[in-house]
Structure 1
Amino acid sequence: MKLSPRDQQIFTAVMSMYCNGEGQPVPSSKIAKQKGMAVCSATVRNAMARLEKVGLLCSPYTSAGRMPTSEGFKFWLNEYFNLPDIGQYWQPEQSKLVELAHSLSQKYQVCCCVGLPQASSQLIFRVEVLGFDSSSWLVLLIDRAGQSQNILIDKPDFETDAQRYQFASWMNTVFSQQPLKEGLQRMFAMANSAPKTCTAQLTQWTSQLHQQLGSDNCILLGERHLYNSVESDSELNLGVGFLHDIEDKLAFKNGLSLTMGNELTNYQLGKTVILSLPYFENGEYQSRFCVICSTSAPIEAIIEEFSLAST
């Protein structure tokens, strides 16, 4: 879509004024008074009418100012911000991920959904299986530095200490000196050698290990801010499933990407914008960092935060 220089100027002014945390329709008189605009209100109204005709702006009611449509948001963000160039192959430390999520959520009152780094490359030195509570065993996958991935699995029926020791011994055989990813594959391949008292639940345990390792973990911050900005009486159910849906939709796109909330039919996100940035470790994809915010949020400032964090 080609816009004249004047229409571009007025369009960007509407977007900046709308995305200020209030989300109110922008009147032509306010734009005409903006420093450096040098046009009268009638000229602004004519430009707004043209922008409305091509679907970038809309008017909520007669004699109101203009506000962006979903297409207007997508055009603005994709055409004016070079989103794919932001955060190319971003490789943050996990502590930086959590710190950035807390900062963005508190500073801009937005929701952050962040997949945690995959643990698949961690080399396992030994495995311990401990009794945790009446229904669970605690599996400790420990590397040479003493750091561990701690995972709960369901106890078998009529479990005994001897049974737990046998399973721990077998797990050590499977995972010894193996990366987590390889160890999980070996659990399938070596299932016939597992203790007979555990074979009935081996498939379930393997599934639980898969679910609790790698990108099947996430943090969710500022969800209350999202509930304040969308009209929904039901749970939004954000989390790992949401991240998977974003990954499927964006199909391996690198750099910062834009998704409108109303494009995700499984969630009642209404008039929201989702800014999503993938991150990597040693060149291997890990997960995504997503900011879900109202269309009235200070989006330009959030994009700038991503630019600074990924340099």
Structure 2
Amino acid sequence: MKLNPRDQQIFSAVMSLYCNGEGLPVASTRIAKQKGMAVCSATVRNAMARLEKVGLLYSPHTSAGRVPTNAGFDYWLDEFFALPEIAPYWQPEQAQLVELAHGLSQRYKVCCCVGLPQVSSQLVFRVEVLDFDGSNWLILLIDRAGQSHNICITKPEDSSDAVRYQFATWLNTVFSQQTLMEGLYRMQAMAGTAPNNCHDSLTQWTRQLSQKLGSDNSIVVGENYLYRQVDCQTSLNIGVSFLNFVEDKLAFKNGVSVLNTEQLPFTDCNELMVISVPYFNNHEYQSRFCVICPKSAQIEAIIQEFKLIGSSAS
């Protein structure tokens, strides 16, 4: 679709004024008063009528201003933003992912859903085994930064402190300076060297560890903002299953991508869109960072945040 320069300028102004966090219809008088326009309201009305005719805008009421259609959003994002070039091959630390999710959510009143790095790739520095309760030991798999994955395992028949210390020593031999996944392989390969009192439970523990370490992980921040701003009758089910859906939709797409309303799994909610960027570790894909927001959110500002991510990564 080709627009003449004036219509394109007026369309861009409509999008910027609509996507300001309020989502109110944009009147021609408001466009005419924008800095740098130098056109009268009648000229703006004619342009907006043409934009409505080609399906980029519509008027929700007879006397109201215009709001963008789904096609208008698609055109705006394709024409005005070089999305694939923003934040390509972003390689953040996990702490940066969490900090950014909280920051974006608070600044723009949006929801962020982030797939965290697979825990199986974490490098273990040391292992501790604690007496958790009457039935379980608690295993702490700790990296050099002091962060740990805490996993309960069922106590063996003899769960004395002496046996627990022996098992902790053996686990440190197995896991030290290894990734969690490699440690699991080593648990199986080195089972014969484990303390005798632990042999009967070792297969069960390995299975418990494998199930925990192989599970997907994500954080969701600011989900309450969506329910305040958008009319949804049911829960949106944002989490690992949602990330899997986005990954399927955006497979092999690098940089920033946007999923518009009709591409989302929220069947009873037509007011949302998703801004998503994949992230990497040593140029290997890890997961996605997703912003779920109303279409009236500050889309330009959010995309600008990802531009800053891209520049800081380079």
Counterpart of 1:199 (choices 203, 206, 215) is 203
Question: Counterparts of 1:248 and 1:89 in 2: how far apart (Å)?
Answer: 18
The Cα offsets for residues 159-193 of structure 1, whole Å up to 9 and x where unpaired, read as 65168778767755653543223334556x65986
Partner of 1:223: 223
How far has the Cα of 1:50 moved from its partner?
2.5
Kindly indicate whether the alpha-carbon contact (under 8 Å) linking 1:124 and 1:179 is maintained by their aligned counterparts in 2: yes
TM-score, with normalisation over the residues of structure 1? 0.83
Query: Are positions 1:152 and 2:151 aligned together?
Result: yes
Question: Counterparts of 1:147 and 1:197 in 2: how far apart (Å)?
Answer: 28
Kindly indicate whether the alpha-carbon contact (under 8 Å) linking 1:276 and 1:291 is maintained by their aligned counterparts in 2: yes
Q: What is the one-letter code of the residue matched to 1:161? A: S
Kindly indicate whether the alpha-carbon contact (under 8 Å) linking 2:110 and 2:291 is maintained by their aligned counterparts in 1: yes
Larger CA deviation: 60-69 vs 162-171? 162-171
Question: Counterparts of 1:134 and 1:51 in 2: how far apart (Å)?
Answer: 70
Partner of 1:208: 212
**Residues 1:125 and 1:10: Cα distance change in structure 2 (over 3 Å):** closer
Larger CA deviation: 107-116 vs 197-206? 197-206
Q: What is the one-letter code of the residue matched to 2:200? A: K
- 5+ residue gaps in structure 1? none
Q: What is the one-letter code of the residue matched to 1:150? A: H
**Residues 1:180 and 1:30: Cα distance change in structure 2 (over 3 Å):** same
Query: Are positions 1:239 and 2:268 aligned together?
Result: no
Kindly indicate whether the alpha-carbon contact (under 8 Å) linking 2:151 and 2:209 is maintained by their aligned counterparts in 1: no
The Cα offsets for residues 17-49 of structure 1, whole Å up to 9 and x where unpaired, read as 101111011122222332332333333233223
Give the 5 Å matches for 1:162-311: 171=171, 175-185=175-185, 190=189, 195-199=199-203, 202-211=206-215, 216-265=216-265, 269-311=269-311
**Residues 1:269 and 1:134: Cα distance change in structure 2 (over 3 Å):** farther
Question: Counterparts of 2:89 and 2:241 in 1: how far apart (Å)?
Answer: 23
3-state DSSP of counterpart to 1:280:
strand
Partner of 2:159: 161
The Cα offsets for residues 97-139 of structure 1, whole Å up to 9 and x where unpaired, read as 2322222222211112222234444333554433434565422
Kindly indicate whether the alpha-carbon contact (under 8 Å) linking 2:276 and 2:290 is maintained by their aligned counterparts in 1: yes
3-state DSSP of counterpart to 2:148:
strand
How far has the Cα of 1:271 moved from its partner?
0.9
Q: What is the one-letter code of the residue matched to 2:148? A: Q
Question: Counterparts of 1:135 and 1:263 in 2: how far apart (Å)?
Answer: 47
Kindly indicate whether the alpha-carbon contact (under 8 Å) linking 1:236 and 1:268 is maintained by their aligned counterparts in 2: no
Larger CA deviation: 170-179 vs 104-113? 170-179
Question: Counterparts of 1:35 and 1:298 in 2: how far apart (Å)?
Answer: 19
How far has the Cα of 1:249 moved from its partner?
1.2
Q: What is the one-letter code of the residue matched to 2:151? A: L
How far has the Cα of 1:261 moved from its partner?
4.2
Q: What is the one-letter code of the residue matched to 2:280? A: F
Partner of 1:34: 34
**Residues 1:252 and 1:63: Cα distance change in structure 2 (over 3 Å):** same
Report the number of matched residues.
Answer: 304
Give the 5 Å matches for 1:15-34: 15-34=15-34
**Residues 1:53 and 1:164: Cα distance change in structure 2 (over 3 Å):** farther
The Cα offsets for residues 241-297 of structure 1, whole Å up to 9 and x where unpaired, read as 222221221103111111124422257553122111222222222222221111111
Question: Counterparts of 1:280 and 1:269 in 2: how far apart (Å)?
Answer: 31
TM-score, with normalisation over the residues of structure 2? 0.83
The Cα offsets for residues 46-72 of structure 1, whole Å up to 9 and x where unpaired, read as 322332233221221223211011221
Aligned sequence identity (%): 61
Question: Counterparts of 1:261 and 1:165 in 2: how far apart (Å)?
Answer: 55
Kindly indicate whether the alpha-carbon contact (under 8 Å) linking 1:262 and 1:272 is maintained by their aligned counterparts in 2: no
Question: Counterparts of 1:146 and 1:94 in 2: how far apart (Å)?
Answer: 12
Kindly indicate whether the alpha-carbon contact (under 8 Å) linking 1:258 and 1:275 is maintained by their aligned counterparts in 2: yes
